[in-house]
Amino acid sequence: IPVLLDTRRERNDQIDKADALAAWAEMLRDTIASHAGLNQAVSMTAGVAPLPIQNEVRALAIRAERMPLSEALRRFANDVEDPVADLIVAALVIADQYQAQDLTKLLSDIAASSRMQSSMRLRIETGRARTYSSVRWIVAITFAMAIGLILFSPDFLDPYDGLVGQVVLGFIGALFTGAVWSLITMSRPIPEPRLLAGVEDAIAT
């Protein structure tokens, strides 16, 4: 049950992070649209960035004051480890190094795409909620029944005391454990391919 709850927390964190990155992209877009520079936009949004990425954005603002912005952005992408963050970083790095045109529209498109992904994940999560709840109840009831038999009706478990009984019990336990673990594995969020997947090695070099 704790592992099932942990996988659900991972999925919710992924959705919250995508929403936070979309909101931050919109903040950057609006700040840049008011004729602020990239460094200034990063600094201005650091104090109001959404909570799931607030620490990473603040670290980005501090680094941007001490090193080139493109390097600070790559470190930000390494910290967040999210495909949406990679898209934002790529857009900002191109704008910083090559003076990309229409950066505000690009940030708007990234934000809209991120919100669509979050909405789709949320719909999937809502559809699976009943299944996850049923599995948690099955696991809890199974363990409660086993503990109840041990405490209040130990004679019922006498056939499992022998060698054959232990083998049968082990087989049943293995099947049950395998089924639950398979569900946990399938319920974990699948990592999406990142645009800047090799940036960690570049930073280390």
Residue 61 has pLDDT above 90, yes or no: yes
Which residue is it, tokens 């669509």? 116
150: its two tokens: 């041990």
What pLDDT is recorded for position 114?
82
Band (pLDDT 50/70/90 cuts) for residue 38 is confident
Give me the mean pLDDT over the 138-157 stretch.
86
11: its two tokens: 């999925």
Give me the mean pLDDT over the 164-168 stretch.
90
17 contacts 80 by C-beta, under 8 angstroms: yes
Separation between Cα atoms, residue 111 and residue 115, nearest integer Å: 6
Separation between Cα atoms, residue 50 and residue 162, nearest integer Å: 60
Is this prediction's pTM over 0.75? no
Residue 90 has pLDDT above 60, yes or no: yes
The tens digit of pLDDT for each residue in 116-129 reads 877 887 787 777 77
Residue 205 has pLDDT above 60, yes or no: no
- Helical residues (DSSP H) of 47-193, grouped into ranges: 54-64, 69-80, 83-98, 103-152, 163-187
16 contacts 52 by C-beta, under 8 angstroms: yes
What pLDDT is recorded for position 198?
59
